[in-house]
Structure 1
Amino acid sequence: MDNEQYFKTEDIVRCNARSELVLLERVGLQMKICEQQVEVAEIENTIMALSPSEISNCLVIKIFENGEDRLAAYVVSNNSKFSIESIRDYCMVYLCPHMVPSYFIVLDQFPSNANETTDRQGLTVPSPSIDISNQYVKNSEEAMYDSEDKMHHLWSSMLTLDSLSRHAYYFALGGTSCSLMQLFNQYQVHLISDEQFDVFDFLKNPTIVEHIRHLMKVEPKMSTVYSSLHLTQGVASFAQTQIFVEERLHSMDNMIMFHMPIVYRIDHGSLSLVRLRRALATVIHKHQPLRTRFIFDNDKNMLNQEVLENCQRVFPPLTMSIIDHVDDILDIVRKEKTNPSLFDLNAGRVIHCHVIRSSQVNVDEQLSSEDTIIFNFHRIASDEFSIPIFLRDLHRAYELNGEEFEAFSHNYIDYAVHEREMNMEKATTFWQGHLQGLSKNLLRLPYDRLPVIATTRSGRGFTV
């Protein structure tokens, strides 16, 4: 429109006396998939645009499967043999990867209720054992690469599927960007340990056949050996800096975004609180991010980190609660998610343990059946992929009754330093190309730090 790009947000707004747009409500239907907002109407309109003469209607819903949110598209067509592959291929061209539905179901009409409207509850929930494996069967073509069978096994294992086509699209099979990076690491270990595989090509064409083509033309890897720097102080990583800045910004709006509570209930047996405290201290001593404080240097506009040697400074005594009813646990978990004083990044307090006991307690230092433990982490120190490692080491430390075990040869603070030595030229070129033509004067904000004066506003604005 007028040689400018616009995006229809489906928002209803009003213009106030200061010519500002005030949000009233949303009329569009959005869903969150892979941590990104998805406009359902955009997916439905794209599918219907493939063949208006054969596709008369489309409905996209979100389903929960194997711990993941996935999209399912129900397509009404007068052609019962309409090719699902053609719909999927069309979507992969015109939609972002995370917007391509994992399932496509062709119907002659939608089920209706008594009011003659679409009965969403009457739609058959797709089964991965029927829908995906039947649509994606491993090709009988001759293997293009000696390791195709191994590659197929890695894909099947990561996606928990028995069979799939070499032309299958990773995201359409229910894969996420996080699991794709895990698969990339599996490639580096099992397939290309001595070769340099470009992660950008890997993400751009996520099919088995495309990965094989890239593997056939990769170049020998120039080995870089990273050694431990034995640091206790240094610069924070880019990811840590982003979390630190975002938390500071959102704290002005009383928004708590980076608490990660994990809840466990004891089903049977007992647990010693004395040994649990020792095990936690051992794990915190081994994993430096769990005893790291963060200091913002206003003079250099940089976030630094410092590893603390004294674990007692960062790990206060266990929080104990006694409840009368199991529903009280939900209230405690809600507070664990929203309590702004639970963590203190400047003091290095990034982990918290809350023990919840029933009112019928006989032994003070023993947890028994129906008792609950909440391990709460700040995301600057941990993420979902770190939790299994934490639990593994906690179990081992508990069995050893707090006895120290081997430390890591490399630590996260080493990575934060080496990260700034990486060649980011290709990534810079990528983003410069995508942002080319955008105005550089509309918004000037630091990307990796807080403004020097974060509590003041300019008062200037732009009318849109």
Structure 2
Amino acid sequence: MIPSIFIPMHRFPLNKNGKLDRQALPKPTNLLSLSNNIHIELSTEMEITVHKLWCQILQCDVPKSTTSNFFSMGGHSMLLMQLYHQYQCLPNFDSRTNPISLFFRQPAIGEHAILLENIAKQVNDDKFQKWQSMHLTEAPASLAQERIYLDQHIRFSSGKDYQYSIGAYNELTVLKIVTGTISMLRLRTAIQWVLTKHLTLRTSLDFNSDKSMLFQRITQIHQTFDFVPSQTFENDNHLHELLRQINENPNLFDLASGHVFHCQLLQRQQQNTNRNNEILIPDDMIVIAFHHAAFDRSSRPIFLRDLSIAYNSDAPLMIDQSVLNYIDYSVYERQLDMTKSRDFWNAQLDGYDMESRLLLPVDRHRLSKNQRSGRASVAEISFDEHLSHSFLTYASSHNVTPFQLGLAVFYTFLFK
């Protein structure tokens, strides 16, 4: 990549370890002058949408011109990855027909808008079926829910071969009261309204033995929602221990009853015993947990936005009955034509012996299944700048996400 700006310096700032302190480097001040000198006003809704997303990702006021260049405005490959993820959240986006490499090669607002508009034109063709809400209360589970359900019951549930169980699919969000106060009663009501709107947060998963299939059902568990009994903590170490217990608790949820949402209040111990037990004050914590079968981290901003709206307005959330719910998607998902995908993988795996284990070198004894504890551990691995750049370059050139590539590398390491 060719630098867009050169800033002369007498010396580079160093941190305590003697390495380059990137945070202390001077910020470019003339980014706006790097955009194309030809200014063409935004004229379509898609161009305006792209401009708003650019401003969010780049965290600056991008010129409202179709010729504005993402990289000239301070963007780089990591930020373009984030932008591409935002594009994937747009209706009808298909990463197969619009891989990230196209957005790398065409980095202007107008060019991005044209790529995204072409998707909309393709969706309007007769060969595409528009998905609509079917207002279902029961349907087969999605393929992702099946994988999570099966994985949890085989690897992470107590049984004769396992000494421990863990909450492998607990998704935790911790909110700290910084200033002001929060009414517990009003917060409880706001959460009930959020659960009323988002059906997936009150969806049960239960295996139907007669049909040999996992089913999901919309429950009314939100009507009886209440906080888990609150606990007090003395100091930060005590708080971290409580959070660890919640995060690892294998009994935090009950998929069969639709209990996939958990909310608990942690209050800092006060010397004043006269505190109002119906009010949260600064340093108190709101711990919100979701089961991964009903929630992923990309959904967190949506949940927090709706919770904030419901609490501040003290009124039920508006519900658009025409909006597609996850239970609708799980039905449409099974109607997709997977012929091309099957053909692709059959071609990729042609000639492989699927019955024999891959003969890779091992660096330790491989335990048999009945000797494995089922416990999990967390390991953090830091990539240097060169390896990170190579990793992202490989991912973008092969049209795969960093998550997919990282998962493939990790599984190769685990099962070698």
Which consecutive unaligned segments of at least 5 residues does structure 2 have? 4-11, 63-67, 157-161, 358-368, 372-414
Alignment of 1:218-297 (within 5 A): 220=122, 221-222=124-125, 224-251=129-156, 252=162, 254-297=165-208
- Which among 322, 338, 343 is matched to residue 232 of structure 2? 322
Alignment of 1:24-423 (within 5 A): 84-85=1-2, 121-125=18-22, 130=27, 137-138=34-35, 153=51, 156-157=54-55, 159-160=57-58, 165=69, 173-175=77-79, 179-186=83-90, 199-209=96-106, 220=122, 221-222=124-125, 224-251=129-156, 252=162, 254-312=165-223, 315-360=225-270, 361=273, 362-401=275-314, 403=316, 405-406=318-319, 408-409=321-322, 410-423=324-337
Give the residue type in structure 2 aligned to 1:244.
Y
1: CA distance between counterparts of 2:132 and 2:34?
45
Structure 1 length as normaliser, TM-score? 0.58
Which consecutive unaligned segments of at least 5 residues does structure 1 have? 1-83, 87-109, 114-118, 444-454, 458-462
Deviation at 1:312, TM superposition (A): 4.9
* RMSD value, Cα: 4.6
2: CA distance between counterparts of 1:174 and 1:341?
38
Contact kept? 1:151, 1:208, Cα under 8 Å? no
Give the residue type in structure 1 aligned to 2:57.
L
Contact kept? 2:204, 2:217, Cα under 8 Å? yes
Structure 2 length as normaliser, TM-score? 0.64
2: CA distance between counterparts of 1:429 and 1:127?
52
3-state DSSP of counterpart to 2:216: strand
Give the residue type in structure 2 aligned to 1:439.
D
3-state DSSP of counterpart to 2:304: helix
Contact kept? 2:142, 2:330, Cα under 8 Å? yes
1: CA distance between counterparts of 2:301 and 2:13?
43
3-state DSSP of counterpart to 1:205: helix
Contact kept? 1:275, 1:402, Cα under 8 Å? no
2: CA distance between counterparts of 1:353 and 1:216?
41
1: CA distance between counterparts of 2:214 and 2:249?
24
Give the residue type in structure 1 aligned to 2:85.
M
Deviation at 1:368, TM superposition (A): 1.8
Contact kept? 1:166, 1:208, Cα under 8 Å? no
Deviation at 1:301, TM superposition (A): 4.1
Q: How many residues align structurally? A: 337
2: CA distance between counterparts of 1:124 and 1:255?
40
Give the residue type in structure 2 aligned to 1:183.
Y
Deviation at 1:214, TM superposition (A): 5.6
Deviation at 1:277, TM superposition (A): 1.9
Larger strand proportion of the pair: 1
CA deviation string 1:31-66 (max 9, x = no partner): xxxxxxxxxxxxxxxxxxxxxxxxxxxxxxxxxxxx
Residue 366 of structure 2: aligned partner? none
Give the residue type in structure 1 aligned to 2:308.
H
Give the residue type in structure 2 aligned to 1:241.
E
Task: Mark the CA change 1:437 to 1:171 in structure 2 (over 3 Å): closer, same or farther.
Answer: farther
Give the residue type in structure 1 aligned to 2:189.
R
Larger helix proportion of the pair: 2
CA deviation string 1:223-271 (max 9, x = no partner): 6333322211111112222222222233056343221211112222222
Give the residue type in structure 1 aligned to 2:78.
G
Deviation at 1:176, TM superposition (A): 7.0
CA deviation string 1:189-245 (max 9, x = no partner): xxxx8xx96644323534152866867977643263333222111111122222222
CA deviation string 1:246-303 (max 9, x = no partner): 2223305634322121111222222222222222222212211111110123454432
Task: Mark the CA change 1:264 to 1:203 in structure 2 (over 3 Å): closer, same or farther.
Answer: same
Residue 103 of structure 1: aligned partner? none
Give the residue type in structure 2 aligned to 1:262.
T
1: CA distance between counterparts of 2:39 and 2:226?
61
1: CA distance between counterparts of 2:335 and 2:260?
27
Contact kept? 2:206, 2:256, Cα under 8 Å? yes
Give the residue type in structure 2 aligned to 1:372.
M
Task: Mark the CA change 1:274 to 1:230 in structure 2 (over 3 Å): closer, same or farther.
Answer: same
CA deviation string 1:43-97 (max 9, x = no partner): xxxxxxxxxxxxxxxxxxxxxxxxxxxxxxxxxxxxxxxxx449xxxxxxxxxxx
Task: Mark the CA change 1:137 to 1:129 in structure 2 (over 3 Å): closer, same or farther.
Answer: farther
Contact kept? 1:283, 1:397, Cα under 8 Å? yes
Contact kept? 1:197, 1:215, Cα under 8 Å? no
Query: Percent identity of the aligned residues?
Result: 26
